[in-house]
Structure 1
Amino acid sequence: MIDMIAALQPLVVGAVLIWSARVKLLNRHAATVARRSALVRLVGEHRLLPAYRLLGAVELILGALLLLPPALRLETAAATAVAVGFLGYLTYARRTAPTSSCGCLSSRPTPVSGRSLGRAALLVAAAGLATVATGAWLAALTDRPLAGGVVLLAEAAAMVALSPELDAGWLLPLRRLRARLTNPLRGGTGLPLLATVQQVQLSDPYRRIAPLLRSDVREHWDDGEWRFVGHAARYQGRPATAVFAVPLVDGGPDAVRVAVVDDATGQTLLALAGAGRPAGPRLDVVPA
Structure 2
Amino acid sequence: MGTLAAAQPLLIGLLLLWSSYGKFADPQQADRTALPRLVGDSRAKPVYQAVAVVEALIALALLLPPSWAIEAFAAVALSAGFTGFLVYSKVVVPEASCGCAGKSAKPVGNRAIARALLLLATAGLATTASTGWWSAGAGVLVLVVEAVAFAMLSAELDRYWLLPLRRFRIRLSHPYAGTASDDTPLVATQRRVLLSPAYRAVDGLLRSDIHDYWDDEDWRFVSYAARYDGRRATAVFAVPHQDSTPAAIRVAVVDEEGLTLYRPTMLATTG
* TM over 0.5, shorter chain: yes
Q: Contact 1:70–1:137 at 8 Å: present in 2 too? A: no
Distance 1:100 1:148 in 2: 35
Distance 1:135 1:120 in 2: 24
Distance 1:36 1:44 in 2: 13
Distance 1:70 1:79 in 2: 16
Corresponding position of 1:43: 39
Distance 1:43 1:177 in 2: 42
Q: How does 1:40-189 map to 2 (within 5 A)?
A: 40-141=36-137, 144=138, 148-149=140-141, 151-180=142-171, 183-185=172-174
Distance 2:70 2:140 in 1: 24
Larger C-alpha radius of gyration, 1 or 2? 1
Corresponding position of 2:19: 20
Distance 2:152 2:84 in 1: 21
The 1:110/1:70 distance shift into structure 2, 3 A limit, reads: farther
Provide Cα deviations, 1:185-233, integer angstroms capped at 9, x if missing partner.
39xxxxx979xxxxxxxxxxxxxxxxxxxxxxxxxxxxxxxxxxxxxxx
Q: Contact 1:10–1:66 at 8 Å: present in 2 too? A: yes
Percent identity between the aligned chains?
43
RMSD: 1.9
Q: Contact 2:30–2:45 at 8 Å: present in 1 too? A: yes
Distance 1:99 1:193 in 2: 30
Moved more, 68-77 or 131-140: 68-77
Deviation at 1:165, TM superposition (A): 2.4
Deviation at 1:44, TM superposition (A): 0.6
Structure 2 spans left out of the alignment, 5+ residues = 179-271
Q: Contact 2:76–2:120 at 8 Å: present in 1 too? A: yes
Q: Contact 2:23–2:102 at 8 Å: present in 1 too? A: no
Deviation at 1:139, TM superposition (A): 1.2
Structure with greater contact order relative to length (CA < 8 Å, sep ≥ 6): 2
Amino acid at match of 1:170: W
Structure 1 spans left out of the alignment, 5+ residues = 187-191, 195-288
Q: Contact 2:73–2:124 at 8 Å: present in 1 too? A: yes
Distance 1:100 1:171 in 2: 22
Spell out structure 1 runs of 4+ moving beyond 4 A. Answer: none
Q: Contact 1:7–1:135 at 8 Å: present in 2 too? A: yes
TM-score normalised according to structure 1 size? 0.59
Q: How does 1:4-15 map to 2 (within 5 A)?
A: 4-15=3-14
Amino acid at match of 1:185: H
- Count of aligned pairs between the two proteins: 178
SS at match of 1:46: helix
TM-score normalised according to structure 2 size? 0.62
SS at match of 1:11: helix
Q: Contact 1:7–1:130 at 8 Å: present in 2 too? A: yes
Distance 2:65 2:136 in 1: 11
